[in-house]
Each structure stands twice: as C-alpha cells, then as structure tokens.
Amino acid sequence: MANLINEAAILAARNNQKEITQDNLFEAIEKVLLGPERRSHIFSKKEKEITAYHEAGHALVACSLPYTDPVHKVSIVSRGRAGGYTLKLPTEDKHLRSRSEFESELAVLLGGFVAEKIIFKDTTTGASNDLKVASDLARRMITQYGMSDILGPITFGEKEEMVFLGKEISTNKNYSETVAFQIDEEIKKLITKGLNSSKKVLTQKTDILHKIAKELISKETLEQKEFYALVR
Amino acid sequence: MANLINEAAILAARNNQKEITQDNLFEAIEKVLLGPERRSHIFSKKEKEITAYHEAGHALVACSLPYTDPVHKVSIVSRGRAGGYTLKLPTEDKHLRSRSEFESELAVLLGGFVAEKIIFKDTTTGASNDLKVASDLARRMITQYGMSDILGPITFGEKEEMVFLGKEISTNKNYSETVAFQIDEEIKKLITKGLNSSKKVLTQKTDILHKIAKELISKETLEQKEFYALVR
Amino acid sequence: MANLINEAAILAARNNQKEITQDNLFEAIEKVLLGPERRSHIFSKKEKEITAYHEAGHALVACSLPYTDPVHKVSIVSRGRAGGYTLKLPTEDKHLRSRSEFESELAVLLGGFVAEKIIFKDTTTGASNDLKVASDLARRMITQYGMSDILGPITFGEKEEMVFLGKEISTNKNYSETVAFQIDEEIKKLITKGLNSSKKVLTQKTDILHKIAKELISKETLEQKEFYALVR
Amino acid sequence: MANLINEAAILAARNNQKEITQDNLFEAIEKVLLGPERRSHIFSKKEKEITAYHEAGHALVACSLPYTDPVHKVSIVSRGRAGGYTLKLPTEDKHLRSRSEFESELAVLLGGFVAEKIIFKDTTTGASNDLKVASDLARRMITQYGMSDILGPITFGEKEEMVFLGKEISTNKNYSETVAFQIDEEIKKLITKGLNSSKKVLTQKTDILHKIAKELISKETLEQKEFYALVR
Amino acid sequence: MANLINEAAILAARNNQKEITQDNLFEAIEKVLLGPERRSHIFSKKEKEITAYHEAGHALVACSLPYTDPVHKVSIVSRGRAGGYTLKLPTEDKHLRSRSEFESELAVLLGGFVAEKIIFKDTTTGASNDLKVASDLARRMITQYGMSDILGPITFGEKEEMVFLGKEISTNKNYSETVAFQIDEEIKKLITKGLNSSKKVLTQKTDILHKIAKELISKETLEQKEFYALVR
Amino acid sequence: MANLINEAAILAARNNQKEITQDNLFEAIEKVLLGPERRSHIFSKKEKEITAYHEAGHALVACSLPYTDPVHKVSIVSRGRAGGYTLKLPTEDKHLRSRSEFESELAVLLGGFVAEKIIFKDTTTGASNDLKVASDLARRMITQYGMSDILGPITFGEKEEMVFLGKEISTNKNYSETVAFQIDEEIKKLITKGLNSSKKVLTQKTDILHKIAKELISKETLEQKEFYALVR
C-alpha cells in the first residue's frame, strides 16, 4: 500500500504536480501489478492483431457477465511478461468471493483464448498464463472452498512446509485415485462452463469484438470511457 | 496460560482496575485465540450481511445440538484472519472427546457454510477455514480415533519427523489404494451427516436465523445473554 | 537399567530407608515408563468414569486371556500423557515373543476401547494411543515376523536411514498394490480377532467390569492383590 | 544480446574488418547457440553419410511445410554436442507461437529421425536430442498451452521450486492416472501427426533429399542460397 | 582380514600360546561376525528350548541339502543380537554363487522358523532376522541376478545415491505395477519352495531334530564333530 | 585420453622401451577400463571353469553377430570387480550408434549368462553386471532413442538434478502406468530377442564354445589372433 502511494508520488513529481491525483494512483497500480511498460518490445503486425483480439475478448466477456468488476482499461502495450492487459478494478474492497463471482471470472479469464479461436481458428502461447490462473482457481473452488456439489464441503490436499535454507510449500496428495479423478472431472466441468459462457458472449457480439480490437490496434490503449462507448 | 493471564492483567491495567475480572480474562482469550480486533477492515454492506448470516449459522447450530459447548459470544467484528467469530467455551476442562461430541462439532463447523447456502443460494470463500478444520477432524476421527465402523479401531498413516534446519512432520501413506478410498468415503459420510444436521436445524429455525443475523448487523457483537434471549 | 536403580535409590532416600525395597523399584518403573504423576490434571466426574471403565477393560481382559503378564496395578491417576494406566509385569525376562502372546496382547490393548463402547455406546479420543500401538503391532506381526499365513514368512518394506543434521528412518514401500491390500486385510483380520476376544470377555464379565470401575472411582488406584480379589 | 554483439565484434576484429557485418552476426549466433566448431571430431564415412541425411531431413521438411522459419544454413560440421545442425532464423521477432507453428515444428524436429529411417531402414542415437525437444514441446502444448481438444484449456502439473544450496525445479503430478494416460495419448497423437507430415514430405521428395545429402557430404556446409537452389 | 588375524592373535596371547592356532582363528571369526558372547543374557527354560529347536532346525536343514557349506558349530549361547547361532564355513573361497546354492540357502534360513512351527505349533520374533535375510536374498535373485524364469534376465530398480552430510542409498522403483506384482509373486514362489524343502527335511528327520535340540539344551554348544555324530 | 597415454608411457618406461608401442596402449586401456589385475584373487577349479565358459560365451556371440566390434582379448584373469573380461575394440571412433548395433550388443552382453545356462543348467551372480548393463541399454533404446515401434519416437522420464553438498541425478516418472507397463513389455521384448540370438549362436557352435573355454582354462588369456584361430 505504502509502495503504491510512493509510486504515485513519484509519478506526480515527474509531472510537476503539487498533489497526487487519482490518475497517478491508477498509473501506479498498473506499474506495480503488471511491471513497467515495455514499448521497446517490437510486435509484428500479426502479433499486434492477435493481442488486440485477445484483450478485446477478456474485456468484452468481463463487461457482459454479471458479478464482474468494471473494466478500467484495455491495452496492447506490453508490460512485464504480458503482451497486453485488461485492468478491472472492484468498486469497493472485497474480502469474500462467491461461487457466482468465480464462475464469471473463469469465463473472463478464458475470453482471450476463446477470442483467438473464434477469429483465427488457432490459439497461441499468449493464453498460457490465463489458463494457469483459471485452472488454479477452478482447483481451489473444488478443493479449498467446497464449491463442487459432487465432492461436497470437504477440503483436499494437505499443505506441507519445508524449511531448509530456502523455503518450500508443497501440497501432499492425501486422497485416493478415485477422488483425484473426481477433482479432475470437476475442474474440467468448471472450465468447460466458463468456456461456454465466454463462447456465447463472443459469438453473439462478434461485431463489437471487431470494433474493440480495431480501436486497440489504432490507439493501443482504451480508457474506461472509450471502452464502454464502444460496448454500449 | 501465563500468556493469557498476562494479557488479562494488561487489559485490567488499561482500565485502571485493581484486580483482573472474568471479563478481562474472556477478552484476553479472544485476543490470544483469534488475534487483535481489526476495525479498520472495511466490509461492504453485502459482505457484512453474509458474515452475519454465516456466524448466526454457527451459533444457532451450536445451541441446537446436544454435546456442544455454550455460545459465549457471536461477533462480526473482524479479528486476525477471520471476518467474524462465534466463541464457544466449555463449562469445564476437557481431556477426552467422544464421537458424539465430534459429530455435533462437524455440524457446527458447517453451520456458516449452510446458512450462506440457504439464505443466498451461493457460498463464499469465507467458509474455507471451517471446511478445512471439519475435514481434518473427520479424517482424524477415522484414521486416529477408530470412530469409523467400516475401517474399525485401526490407525492409518505413519507420522514422519524430519529435522533439517527447520522442522517438518509429514504423514506417510502406509496403506493400499482400497483403504485410501474407504477413508475418503468415510470422511464424506461424516461430513454429509454434519451437513444434514446443520441443514435440518437451520431450515426449521430460519426465522431465528434471520433474527440473530439482523441483530448482528445492527449491534455487531452479541454477548451470551443477548444471544440466548433471541434463541429461546 | 542404571537409570531405574538410581530412581529407586532416590525414592528410598526420600523415605529415609536404608535399603532399596521392591516397592521402590516398582515405583521407579512406573515413573520411568509413564512419566511423573499429574494430580493437578482435573478430570470431570464423567471423564473419571470413562477412564475407570477404560482401565478396568484393559485389566479384566489381561487377567482373563492366556499368554498375558500378571496385572501389577490399575490406576486412574494421570501420568505423563495418559489419563490412567494398567501396569502388567512379566514374571521373568523375555527375549522371544510368540504369535499367541501377541494375539492376546492385541485383545488387551483393545480392552479399553471395547469397555467404553459396551458401557457408554460411544468411544473417546482416550483410546487413540492404544489403537496406534495395536495397529503397529499387527503390522509388525505380518510384515516383520512372518505371522500371517496369507503373506507367509516374507518381510515387507525396506528401512531407509537418512542422516542430515537430524536423523530419520522411513520405510520404503517395496511391494505391489496387491500386497499392500493383502497387508491391510491381514491387519484388519488380526485387529478384528483381538476385538472379538475382548468383547467376549467383557460381555461375559460385565458385572466384574462394573465392580473394578467402581472401586477405581473411589480408590483411584488398585494394587495387584486388591485387583485380583475383585476378579476371583 | 550484448554477448552476441560482443562475439560478432571479436570475429570482425580477427578478420581486420572495421565494421561488424551481418555475416559476423550470423557466425556469432551459431557460436553462441550451438557452441564452437569441433573439426577435430573425426567422423567415419558412414557416420558422415548418416549425419548428412539427418540434417537434410530437417532442412527439407522445414522448407516444405507452412508456418516455419526460413533455413539459414545446413551443416555437418560438428558443433558443441551436435553432430551437425540446421539453422533456421525467423524473419522477424516472435513473442507468440501458435498451434499451427508448433505442429510444423514437431514435423521438422522429427525430420532427421525420419530421413535416417527411410534411407537406412535404421535409426541412431543421433536423433535423441531432437526426440527430447519434440516430446517436451508436445507435452507443453497439451499441459501448458491448452492445445489439446481432449484435455481442453486446462494446465496440468504444478511447478515446485526448491532452493537448498543449489537450485531445483520439479513438476508435481497434481492430476489422476486417467488424466496422466490422456496426456500420454495426446502426446503420442501429436508426435504421430508430426511423424506422418515428415514422412509424407520426405517420401515424396526423396530425390531432393539425396541431392541435399550428397552436396552436404562434399561441401560440409550449405548456405541459405545454395540450399534453396537445390530445393527449388 | 587384518582385523580377524589381530583378534586371533589376542586370543592366542590370552592363552599364553606362542602361535595362532586354527581354533583361535575360528573363535575370532565368531567374535567378528556375531559380536561377543553374552552369557549374562538370562533365558527362561522355555526360551532356551525354543532357541535350541530353532538352531537345530537351521543346522539339520543345512547338512541335509545339496550345495550348502558344512556346519562348523551350533550354539544357543547368545552373541550380539542373536539368541543362538549356526556357523557354516565354506571349504574354499567363493566368488560366484549359483541359483541352486541360493535355493538351498533359502531353505536353511527358514529352517529355524519351520522347526519352531513343527515342534511348538507357534512361531516367535526370534525368526525375524532370518526372514529378512531370506526375503532380501529372494528379491536379489529375481531383480539383480536374472534367476526368475518369469521375469527373465532383466534387472529391476535403479540404485540412487544421495550424499548430504551423511550417506544414503535408496532403490528407485523404475517399473510398472504389473512388474511389481510379478516380483512379489516370484519372491513368494522362491520362499514357498524353500519353506517346503525345509519342512520335508524336518518332518522326515524329526527324531534327529529332537536329539540335536536336547544335546544343545544340555551342552549349549555343539562342535562340528559332535554335531555330525548326532546326524549320521 | 591424456590419462591413457600417461599410463602407456609408464608401462613403456617399466620395460625400458624408448617408445610407446601399440601394446603399451592396449595394456593401458585394459588397466584404465577394468582396473588393475588381481592375480591374488584365488578361484576354485569350478569357478575358473564357470568364468571360462562365461567369457567364451561373450566372445563367441560377439564374433558371430553383425554390427559388433572385433574381439581384442578374452581373459579369465580377475580385474577390478570383474572375474574375467572380453575386450572388444572398435576399428574406428564412433559417435552414432544404431538400433541394429544395440540389438547385437544386447545379445553379446547376455552371451555369458546364456553360456552358463547351456553348459551348467544353472546361472550365477557373475552375470549380474552384464544384466544391469543390458537392461539399462534396452531402457535407453526405448525411452531415449525412440527405438520402440510401440512407443514411437517419444522420450520418457524427465531428468532431475539436485545439487546439495553432493550431487544426485534422478529420473522423474512423467508418464502414466499404462506407458510404464508398455516400457516394461518393450524392454522384455528386446532382452528376449537378444537372449534368443545368443542362444542360437551358442547352441549351434557349442563345440567352439568348449574349445575356447578349455583354452582359457589352460592359458588364462587369449589374444586376438589366438581367439580368431579357434573360431575360424
């Protein structure tokens, strides 16, 4: 938190502002969450197009499903290890997350992958981090939060901490093969559900998807207002 | 123990009391067990409501089933990592715990999860620690205390201690897949039984559940007497 | 051994005796085997009753089956981590233990668990160490001593010693799932046999069980003569 | 990158050039990617022939399939641990790789193995690194990039980092045997598809394969232009 | 070797001999192989009887089967961790061991266990080291020496050496469950064959078994000549 | 290499030669590969006979199958841990090994085991290192070199390097039980094929096997010319 405010203060100082504005704060959030901008990263025309449809996919699913946070910014400027990014910010602090929210989140996370598939009939390595985050979330819903009706309100997997010189936390498989298989099946069911929500949104609104992607290719970044103007 | 009395003494001193009262002791117990109050934690209206029904669920199941300890306090003030808490205190020291007590405890632990499901038709991450504690207890009942009729009075899993620079205790799976599956089945049976007891209480007494939750939303904390006044 | 005699000498000195008596030796054995008495441990009336029936169960099975050592003392005074104890002492040193002796020992170990079940229709965590010792013994009979006719005179599991900074010995599973399952089945068979012997004794002699338990509740400790007077 | 330019500068200096040429850069790339030339490595006539057909296989498949990078050089001069090498360089920087590209890459990687099999009806240890790289790529396509329709956009296997004195990263199997088997099946399907593409190219163009191999045996290295002259 | 001769020299010196005799050497062998005599170890009459039949069993099987070394001494004097011992010495140095020799050795190793079973209809913990040695030998015959016709001349299990501060060697299971099961089956077949050879000898020669055991009970140790006098 | 030449120089110096001869080099190779001669190792007449047939088996299979290196020397003089040895030297340096060569090599490696079985109807521990080397080679052919038609050109098992104070390399099983079973089956198929080739040679040429073994018993070592004189 202190880190964020500090970063915002630096940004304000660079612009010769006397006070930290909300814009400074948002910029600081992006820098801290996603790493610094990497404009030196040169994308080919094709890659720029793929990235634009990928981010447009995330953003369009996010603003079309219930229980999601508002889209704050969509960008195809490379930051840290990501080729582009869609920034969603909750309207208030959140301490509890519900199954309904997580189900929408899975669809949003898969939105980039689905957009690539619909538009290019192919997928790229660009989706790999999204898939990892979605798979981990689906696994947690089932094994930590009791959100699977098949497995019930039971937690699975025992965390182990080993401290040598460094530090390691591994998860011990404390269940049978039958349960391992049920967990795999339930993860697949959740991911498929998210995939289908995402597909439904993006096939029904393919024209809006094209509009957002084209705007992204020309402007590189869409602020909240610009984005919602395209969507409505 | 010394730690508890010390904490109580500090609290007494802060109030300019000359003696440690029972109230100081109870306050010390809460602080040591649950961590300090975190009133800075700002909950949304929705989250406050969820937390109120969650804690009301624990408390109502606890006072409705046999073999449980009296409810000492119910609160939706955030403490440590918990959003709210229900404090039960035994009327005398306990060295032995019976299968009947554990079965009621499972129902109480699941009371928050069940209340969320009944009222909001959804569940949240707020139940995750309850589920972990309940799952671990069910596992111990079966693998350490001989409380499963299917598996019998046999203990399963061999504790291993490894001492490097830090310390680690892991459980070695010293049984076959068939037994691993039976353990999973028995855990599920115990959790389902607890779930059903909890559901039965909370569906029969939904009006009382609403009363407790509403009181919690307005007062934030219910002392023992206030709580039992609502329940009777 | 030196430790035992030393302890006995200290006890003799405290009583201003000039010689170590057999009683000093027995007292030293209890202290070294079970830890010091913990009279500060306050049990509720209910817990005292459970403990009395539990110890009475061990002692009554021990004196009713062949191949067992004589009961030297039964007590519900807490010692070390145990709530009560039944002390059996062999009449001569033993270097070899037979299958018949082990089968009786399993029944004796389960005597406390069975007594609780018969009297209270419930079991407690108080039996957990007995169950662990019985399970380990049954496992050793099958995997180290060739005492299972199904598995034959073969040893299973390869001991591994790892020496880092501390020390650890783990058992490597060097057999197939099929054998793992047979071992589980044979352990269950041995434990069930012990359980049945124990049940048979305690249901046939329930009146004596009540007598011993009641004496234990009033006197807390029964010496060898007092115990055998009740049993005959 | 700095390393590459430094290496190129050294090569330019050795030739008394005043500027770094593109040739210096390409030579630097080879040296850094593949290790220094090892002309001391004496191959038998037979081994030279096998290596020539192996590299010709890679190169011919690479220039016959879509989504591949242009062949920059083919050589049977030993470098580092490789007996020969085929250098492909992308026409522009790449940040995203698609399923179609990876499928062609699998065929190219297997081109050496297939060429040996077609020409000599036998295979050698020379293909072992190609097979490892292809197997790892197929595994990643399925478990990290969601490129299997059977398994879907889910990631499998949890990376673990252990830091002692050295460093180790292992992959934890966090899925059931059923999924493990599906992953094996999908890897096999991808490898078989690549194998078949490679076989199709090399059986249809066996005459060109002979031409490239013979040129390699006499000249040892074919530059881009020489290579494409043979192929067209 | 130097150790053995040194030990023999000490024994010779104690007896005021000027030269090391063969007897000194044999005594040194016993001391080094089995540990020092422990006459302080007091056995009950029953245990002495069991040990006598156990050792008589080993010795009688050893002298009745082909491919075995001559019995040098039989004793029920406790040495090291063993209650008694049967010392066999080869007539010449051996570097190669055959399947036939190992099959006889398995029968000899099980001779003590079988003798206890025949005479007392019960077995004791005294056989546990014999069973471990026999099981390890049977496993090695199958997994290291290619002596199973079912599994063939293949070795199974990859030795791993880990050197931290201490030292550890573990065996990595590098085969499938199906092979693990076949290994278990083959070990059982070899042990059963040894068991049957042993039973056949000891049931046909039970009178000689009684004679040896009785002599051992009265004399405690039988030298080679005394032993063979009883057997012939 | 430097080590080899150094060793050869020492041998030349000992014989007062002014130049290193090819014989010095060959002697150096034996010493470095196999360890120093151990003439002190006293073999019984029987063991000498077994070793002679064992080495004769290796040598006769080696010179009878295609794709093998010429036999340079056969000896029953003990070196390092081996009882005898058969030295084959390639006629030129080899960097690539083919499936055909490996198949012959498996037959040669099993030649000693097969010869013992044919002549003595028994096998000994003397073959254990040959079996290990053959099993490891067969496993590598299948899991690293793509030489199994059933499993295809896929590599299996992920190498892991762990560096603590010492060093360890283990192979991580990254495939399903089904593949583990297929690998076992394919290893068995390759070993059986080698076994059959070896049996075919040695049963057809048993008279030559006897001749070589007898010469070895009388001369202990056969140089290349002496060996080929017997074989032709």
| Closest partner CB to A154 (pick from B83, B120, B135) | B135
DSSP-derived pairing of the beta strands D167-172 and D158-163: antiparallel
Q: Is the pLDDT of residue B93 over 90?
A: no
Q: What 3 state SS string does F150-191 have?
A: CCCCCCCCEEEEEECCCEEEEEECCCCHHHHHHHHHHHHHHH
pLDDT at F170: 53
Contact, C59 vs E13, CB < 8 A?
Answer: no
CB contact under 8 A, C44 and B94: yes
CA-based max dimension of chain A: 63
Residues of A in contact with D148 (CB under 8 A): none
Q: Kindly report the number of other CB atoms within 10 A of residue E138's CB atom.
A: 26
List the chains bordering chain F where 3 or more Cβ pairs fall under 8 Å. D, E
At B106-139, the pLDDT tens digits run 999 999 999 999 999 999 999 999 999 999 999 9
Q: How confident is the model at residue B161 (pLDDT cuts 50, 70, 90)?
A: low
Q: Is the pLDDT of residue F162 over 60?
A: no
Q: What percent of chain B has pLDDT over 70?
A: 91
F169 near D CB under 8 A:
no
pLDDT at E11: 82
C161 near B CB under 8 A:
no
Tell me the mean pLDDT in the region C156-181.
Answer: 70
Chains A and E share 3 or more Cβ pairs within 8 Å: no
Cα of C129 to nearest chain B Cα, Å = 8
Amino acid at A37: E
Q: Is the pLDDT of residue B170 over 70?
A: no
Cα of E155 to nearest chain C Cα, Å = 15
pLDDT at E165: 42
Residues of A in contact with D157 (CB under 8 A): none
Question: Among candidates B48, B45, B199, which has minimal Cα distance to B115?
Answer: B199
Q: Is the pLDDT of residue F163 over 80?
A: no
Residues of B in contact with C41 (CB under 8 A): 95
Nearest CA in chain A to B110: A153
pLDDT at C160: 54
At C56-82, the pLDDT tens digits run 999 999 999 999 999 999 999 988 767
Q: Is the pLDDT of residue E202 over 50?
A: yes
The answer for F157, left when phi > 0, alpha when psi is -120 to 50, beta otherwise, is left
| Residues shown for chain B | 232
Q: How confident is the model at residue F29 (pLDDT cuts 50, 70, 90)?
A: confident
pLDDT at F34: 73
Q: Kindly report the number of other CB atoms within 10 A of residue D70's CB atom.
A: 14
CA distance B67 to B61: 12
CA distance C192 to E67: 44
Nearest CA in chain E to C181: E181
Q: How confident is the model at residue A168 (pLDDT cuts 50, 70, 90)?
A: very low
Tell me the mean pLDDT in the region B165-176.
Answer: 63
CB pairs under 8 A between B and C: 104
pLDDT at E104: 98
Separation of CA E158 from chain center: 27
CB contact under 8 A, E122 and C99: yes
Q: What percent of chain D has pLDDT over 90?
A: 65
C172 near B CB under 8 A:
no
At B15-38, the pLDDT tens digits run 888 888 878 877 777 777 777 777
Structure letter (DSSP) for residue F54: H
- Tell me which of B37-41, B190-194, D162-166, E227-231 is least confident: D162-166
CB contact under 8 A, D155 and A110: no
Contact, F213 vs F58, CB < 8 A?
Answer: no
F100 near D CB under 8 A:
yes
Q: Write the DSSP string, C35-57.
A: -SB-TT-PPPHHHHHHHHHHHHH
| Closest partner CB to D47 (pick from F96, F99, F165) | F96
pLDDT at B21: 82
From A49, A55, A186, A215, active-site residue: A55
From F55, F105, F116, F215, active-site residue: F55
F177 near E CB under 8 A:
yes
At A76-103, the pLDDT tens digits run 998 876 788 898 888 777 889 999 999 9
CB pairs under 8 A between C and E: 104
Question: What value does the mean pLDDT of chain A take?
Answer: 89
Q: Kindly report the number of other CB atoms within 10 A of residue B77's CB atom.
A: 19
Q: Is the pLDDT of residue B42 over 50?
A: yes
| Cα angle: A62, vertex A64, A70; to 5 degrees | 45
Nearest CA in chain A to D163: A166
CB contact under 8 A, A152 and B195: yes
CA distance D99 to A123: 6
Q: Is the pLDDT of residue B217 over 70?
A: yes
C174 near E CB under 8 A:
yes
CB contact under 8 A, D96 and A183: no
Q: How confident is the model at residue C144 (pLDDT cuts 50, 70, 90)?
A: very high
Tell me the mean pLDDT in the region C207-224.
Answer: 97
At E134-164, the pLDDT tens digits run 999 999 999 999 999 999 999 998 765 554 4
pLDDT at E226: 97
At C2-34, the pLDDT tens digits run 677 788 888 888 888 888 887 887 777 777 777
Q: Is the pLDDT of residue C36 over 60?
A: yes
Tell me the mean pLDDT in the region D14-24.
Answer: 82
Of residues B112 and E30, the one with the higher pLDDT is: B112
Chain F interface test: which of E102, E144, E155 (most F C-beta within 10 Å): E155
Chains B and F share 3 or more Cβ pairs within 8 Å: no
Q: Is the pLDDT of residue D165 over 60?
A: no
pLDDT at E161: 53
Separation of CA F38 from chain center: 19
Residue E170 β-bridge partners: E160
Contact, C122 vs C53, CB < 8 A?
Answer: no
Rg (CA), chain A: 20
F155 near D CB under 8 A:
yes
Tell me the mean pLDDT in the region D60-85.
Answer: 90
Q: Is the pLDDT of residue E180 over 60?
A: yes
Q: Is the pLDDT of residue E75 over 70?
A: yes
Residues of F in contact with D166 (CB under 8 A): 161-164
C-alpha to C-alpha distances, F164 to D163, D164, D166, E40, E44, nearest whole angstrom? 9, 6, 6, 46, 51
φ and ψ at D171, to 5 degrees? -105, 125
Chain A interface test: which of B43, B143, B171, B184 (most A C-beta within 10 Å): B184
Rg (CA), chain D: 20
pLDDT at B82: 75
CA distance A25 to B117: 38
Q: Does C55 qualify as catalytic in the annotation?
A: yes
Q: What percent of chain D has pLDDT over 70?
A: 91
Q: How confident is the model at residue B90 (pLDDT cuts 50, 70, 90)?
A: confident
Nearest CA in chain B to C184: B175
Nearest CA in chain B to A145: B128
CB contact under 8 A, F98 and D120: yes
Q: Is the pLDDT of residue D168 over 50?
A: no
Chains C and D share 3 or more Cβ pairs within 8 Å: no
Q: How confident is the model at residue D198 (pLDDT cuts 50, 70, 90)?
A: very high
Q: How confident is the model at residue B171 (pLDDT cuts 50, 70, 90)?
A: low
At D111-150, the pLDDT tens digits run 999 999 999 999 999 999 999 999 999 999 999 999 999 9
CB contact under 8 A, F177 and E177: yes
Q: Is the pLDDT of residue A163 over 60?
A: no
Question: What value does the mean pLDDT of chain B take?
Answer: 89
User: What are the strands of the beta sheet with D221-223, ordered from one edge?
Assistant: D85-88, D71-75, D221-223
pLDDT at A97: 95
Q: How confident is the model at residue D1 (pLDDT cuts 50, 70, 90)?
A: low
Q: Is the pLDDT of residue D97 over 70?
A: yes
| Closest partner CB to C168 (pick from B145, B146, B160) | B160
* Span between the terminal Cα atoms of chain A, in Å: 34
From C7, C49, C55, C116, active-site residue: C55
Of residues D11 and C70, the one with the higher pLDDT is: C70
List the chains bordering chain E where 3 or more Cβ pairs fall under 8 Å. C, F
CA distance A46 to A50: 6
| Closest partner CB to B163 (pick from C122, C166, C195) | C166
pLDDT at C166: 43
At C74-107, the pLDDT tens digits run 999 988 767 889 988 887 778 899 999 999 999 9
pLDDT at D226: 97
- Tell me which of A157-166, B95-104, E56-65, E131-140 is least confident: A157-166
Residues of A in contact with D97 (CB under 8 A): 124-125
Chain B interface test: which of C43, C184, C192, C199 (most B C-beta within 10 Å): C184
pLDDT at A9: 82
Residues of A in contact with D158 (CB under 8 A): 171
